[in-house]
Amino acid sequence: MRSRVPRPELITRVNVTPIIDVALVLVIILLVTAPMMSVSDLPVDLPAARTREAEDERNLSITIAASGQLAVDEDAVVAESLKPMIERRLAEPGNREILVVVRADTSVAFSVIRNTLEVARSAGAQRIAIATRQSAEGAR
């Protein structure tokens, strides 16, 4: 009489745990890098302020470099096409109440910043903010 050698059961299910782990890591990377992708890469030295608000919101970023170059989110624009670009972005679905953030270098004249704010307001922006960096004395 032959003795039966027990054979292990065949694995018939796919183990999805590693796939879920990789997917979660990719989601975390996306959440961390997404806010950085929507801002122009023009070098800007932001003015200091005591408070920082509206960082977690989805927003439309207008960047003014020290050289006077303009960008809307990641797209470089000239001053004449700034208003149509803002109007076009605000006209997109779900963007009517979006926050428009002006990021200007500290060396940019306030008159240029004021004109940019006026252009944004005339383009239909209802919520406008000026970006700043946290000052050391305000971080108590």
The reply to whether 91 falls in a domain is yes
* CA distances from residue 98 to 1, 83, 112, 128, 135 in whole angstroms, order as listed: 81, 16, 22, 9, 26
Instruction: Let me know if residue 33 belongs to a domain.
Output: no
CA-based nearest residue to 120, from 95, 76, 87, 93: 87
The number of beta carbons lying within 10 Å of the beta carbon of residue 120 is 24
Per-position DSSP letters for 49-60, written without gaps between them: ES---SSSS-EE
Confidence of residue 140 (pLDDT cuts 50, 70, 90): very low
123 vs 77: CA distance, rounded Å: 15
In a domain, 61, yes or no: yes
10 in a structural domain: no
Give how many domains the chain has, as a whole number: 1
**62: in domain:** yes
110 vs 11 pLDDT, higher one: 110
Q: Can you give the pTM of this predicted structure?
A: 0.58
Tens of pLDDT, residues 40-98: 666 777 666 655 554 545 788 899 988 888 988 888 888 888 899 988 888 888 888 88
The residue segments making up the domain with residue 47 are 39-134
Asked whether 97 and 126 are in contact (CB, 8 A), the reply is: yes
% of the chain beyond a pLDDT of 90: 16
Is 100 inside a domain boundary?
Answer: yes
Averaged pLDDT of the chain: 81
